[in-house]
């Protein structure tokens, strides 16, 4: 374990019966870090979170928190908080009573309880809602109650399972800001599970991209977004034009092609739609789809290379469905991939 590691997963293996969900996973998380576990359904991210929470016993490896091995420590002894995707609030209790619930189980009463709960509600901006029942609250407010309920327990690590998935687009944006504020002000180490790359990029200090029960890439949002190491990560973070490289050529649906410009030493290249040059270039495609997206237009081209997706400024002249248009895949606009497939 490094000197900077606060929570360490060492060769962690997890299984459901004979089905291995996570195998030999190594991960070090720093104190006060906001970390995202990102990946599609079935990649092992929620299983990993459940093991940290103590809801699942590893079949191999260790979990260490603040220098202590907690691999076999019961969930209620771990100093780990968990905010469920469903919030798991008690509808018959007031906001105050929901936040106070865990503290009461620990034996806290009287003025100490009042002060603790009031501070928790203030931290999430819900002081004026203490007497309301939770069904009277919006989704964002319910999320804040669940957050406050966990925070008042003063966990060393706070886990959030798909924290924004139940909210509409406007509330998701508000809660991103709220989660960041609460995390930075409290200094709590926070780990959240998500399949939404936008959410992970917006919130996390670092992102762990998972695939098939293993870590595919770890990095800052900027590193993951701009420098994916594999075709899997590239596809997951929005590189919609991805090709392997073989013999110095691009491998496409129509065979190998040579691009202008020297290809880097890599297993593949990936282009975001906005990196495609549309309206000029040596390649041709037929417009099969066009969508106006405010400041940009998004195109789907049928080409000899396969389907190509391009995005251009909406101020440019539009290309109609069915028209043939020239395009290019500029090498300098591509992300080189270390692994393909």
pLDDT digits (tens, 9 = 90+) for 63-78: 999 999 999 999 989 9
pLDDT at 166: 72
Mean pLDDT over 205-225 rounds to 97
pLDDT tens-digit series, residues 183-200 = 998 899 999 999 999 999
pLDDT at 2: 53
208 CA to centre of own chain: 8
Mean pLDDT over 320-333 rounds to 96
Sign of CA dihedral 27, 32, 33, 37: positive
Distance CA 161, CA 206 (A): 17
Q: What is the CATH number of domain 237-337?
A: 2.40.50.140
pLDDT at 300 over 70: yes
Residues forming CATH 3.40.50.300 domain(s) in the chain:
5-234
Please give the sequence-ordered ranges of beta strands (E in DSSP) within the chain, or none if there are none. Answer: 5-16, 19-30, 34-38, 60-65, 68-69, 80-83, 157-161, 189-194, 206-211, 214-219, 241-246, 249-252, 255-257, 268-271, 277-292, 296-303, 306-313, 324-328, 335-337
The CATH superfamily holding the domain 5-234 is P-loop containing nucleotide triphosphate hydrolases (3.40.50.300)
Distance CA 70, CA 217 (A): 26
pLDDT at 19: 94
pLDDT tens-digit series, residues 163-183 = 777 777 777 787 888 888 889
> Residue 1: pLDDT band by 50, 70, 90 thresholds?
very low
pLDDT tens-digit series, residues 253-291 = 999 999 888 888 999 999 999 999 999 999 999 999 999
pLDDT at 106: 87
Residues forming CATH 2.40.50.140 domain(s) in the chain:
237-337
Tokens of 264: 């880097």
pLDDT tens-digit series, residues 227-249 = 999 999 999 999 999 999 998 89
147 CA to centre of own chain: 18
Distance CA 106, CA 262 (A): 65
- % of residues, the chain, pLDDT over 70: 99
Query: In the block, which residue shows the tokens 């491998």?
Result: 251
pLDDT at 3: 55
The pTM assigned to this predicted structure is: 0.88
Distances (CA, A) of 62 to 12, 58, 144, 330: 6, 8, 32, 46
Sign of CA dihedral 246, 218, 182, 89: positive
Could you give the residue ranges of the DSSP H alpha helices within 106-192? 110-123, 139-151, 169-186
């Amino acid at each position: 374990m490094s000197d900077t590691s606060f929570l360490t997963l060492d060769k962690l293996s997890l299984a459901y019966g004979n089905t291995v969900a996570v195998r030999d996973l190594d991960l070090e998380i720093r104190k006060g870090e906001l970390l995202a576990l990102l990946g599609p359904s079935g990649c092992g991210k929620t299983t990993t979170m459940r093991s940290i929470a103590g809801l699942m016993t590893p079949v191999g490896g260790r979990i260490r928190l603040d220098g202590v091995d907690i691999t076999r420590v019961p969930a209620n002894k771990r100093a780990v908080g968990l905010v469920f995707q469903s919030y798991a609030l008690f509808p018959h209790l007031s906001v105050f009573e929901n936040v106070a619930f865990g503290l009461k189980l620990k034996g806290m009463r009287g003025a100490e309880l009042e002060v603790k709960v009031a501070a928790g509600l203030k931290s999430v901006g819900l002081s004026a809602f203490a007497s309301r029942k939770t069904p009277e609250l919006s989704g964002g407010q319910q999320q804040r109650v669940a957050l406050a309920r966990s925070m008042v327990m003063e966990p060393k690590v706070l886990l959030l399972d798909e924290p924004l998935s139940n909210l509409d687009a406007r509330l998701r944006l508000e809660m991103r800001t709220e989660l960041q504020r609460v995390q930075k002000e409290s200094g709590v180490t926070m780990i959240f599970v998500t399949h939404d790359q936008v959410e992970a990029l917006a919130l996390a200090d670092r992102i762990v991209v998972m695939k098939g029960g293993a870590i595919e890439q770890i990095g800052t949002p900027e590193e993951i977004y701009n420098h994916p190491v594999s075709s899997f990560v590239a596809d997951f973070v929005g590189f919609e034009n991805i090709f392997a490289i073989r013999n110095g050529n691009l491998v496409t649906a129509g065979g190998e092609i040579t691009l202008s410009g020297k290809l880097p030493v890599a297993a593949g290249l990936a282009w975001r739609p906005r990196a495609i040059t549309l309206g000029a270039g040596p390649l041709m495609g037929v417009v099969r789809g066009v969508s106006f997206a405010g400041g940009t237009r998004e195109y789907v081209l049928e080409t000899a290379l396969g389907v190509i997706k391009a995005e251009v400024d909406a101020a440019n002249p539009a290309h109609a469905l069915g028209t043939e248009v020239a395009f290019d895949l500029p090498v300098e606009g591509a992300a080189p991939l270390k692994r393909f497939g």
